[in-house]
């Protein structure tokens, strides 16, 4: 059974789900200082991964907006991200959720900025997801694609010795690649010690159940975190 409960402050934008504060016009604010109102957590916290657990929910900061969408459009991007991380620490938040795709308007910028400011070395725990294409998801979870994506994520995030991805997710279902091959691909990277826990993102219930059955039957690492549709 999946056994983790996580919370995440989430907004939906035209380019996907990401975290940001809103200005009075209802649009994401571009400057880092505006995150102060968001981090107060008064109104904008939602549970995005809900499974049976005795643990209290954790707040995970969604990094989909790091890049030229909200933070990072200028040469001061690194200082803006550092300021943001300082605010998160003040609020007691040390979990970050990103993806190889983020933000879709500047693919990879989120991971790159987190690496440039040394988020992992500052004590942040980082989850990320396999790279997907905006034109379709078929073939994105072939074992070699999984291996390539996680290697690029490790390089971009600049982990120190002994550090690795916390939760590694497929970002979306790949209906072209057999689930058994997908499970084997993730297990291979798990055996290499490149991530701690396997998650799944946007899998429908029947696909998730089949995926878990395959993992149990083959002795592969099973998903313990689910970000639902």
The sign of the CA dihedral 72, 82, 89, 200 is positive
Question: Do 195 and 167 meet the contact criterion of CB atoms below 8 Å apart?
Answer: yes
Query: What integer pLDDT is reported at residue 11 of this predicted model?
Result: 32
Which domains are present in the chain? 6-227 (3.20.20.100)
Query: What integer pLDDT is reported at residue 58 of this predicted model?
Result: 80
Query: What integer pLDDT is reported at residue 73 of this predicted model?
Result: 53
Query: What integer pLDDT is reported at residue 79 of this predicted model?
Result: 87
- pLDDT tens digits, residue range 120-163? 999 999 999 999 988 889 999 999 999 999 999 999 999 999 99
Residue numbers in the chain where pLDDT is lower than 70 = 1-55, 68-76, 229
Query: What integer pLDDT is reported at residue 174 of this predicted model?
Result: 96
Residue 201 zone, left/alpha/beta (φ > 0; ψ -120 to 50; rest): beta
| Pairing label, strands 195-201, 95-97 | unpaired
Query: What integer pLDDT is reported at residue 109 of this predicted model?
Result: 94
**For residue 183, which of 163, 210, 153, 154 has the smallest C-alpha distance?**
210
Query: What integer pLDDT is reported at residue 53 of this predicted model?
Result: 56
């Amino acid at each position: 059974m999946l056994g983790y409960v996580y919370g995440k402050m989430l907004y939906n934008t035209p380019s996907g789900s990401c975290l940001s504060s809103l200005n009075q016009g209802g649009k994401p604010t571009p400057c880092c200082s505006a995150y102060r109102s968001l981090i107060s957590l008064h109104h904008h916290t939602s549970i995005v991964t809900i499974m049976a657990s005795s643990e209290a929910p954790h707040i995970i900061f969604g990094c989909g907006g790091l890049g030229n969408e909200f933070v990072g459009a200028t040469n001061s991007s690194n200082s803006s991200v550092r300021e943001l991380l300082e605010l998160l620490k003040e609020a007691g938040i040390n979990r970050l959720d990103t993806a190889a795709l983020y933000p879709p308007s500047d693919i990879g910028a989120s991971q790159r900025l987190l690496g440039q400011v040394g988020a992992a070395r500052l004590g942040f725990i980082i989850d990320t997801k396999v790279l997907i294409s905006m034109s379709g998801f078929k073939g994105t979870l072939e074992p070699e694609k999984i291996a390539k994506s996680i290697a690029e994520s490790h390089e971009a995030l600049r982990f120190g010795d002994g550090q690795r991805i916390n939760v590694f997710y497929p970002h979306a279902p790949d209906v072209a690649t057999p689930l058994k091959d997908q499970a084997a691909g993730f297990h291979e990277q798990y055996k290499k010690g490149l991530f701690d826990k396997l998650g799944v993102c946007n899998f429908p219930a029947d696909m998730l159940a089949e995926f878990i059955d395959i993992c149990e039957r083959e002795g592969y690492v099973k998903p313990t975190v689910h970000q639902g549709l």
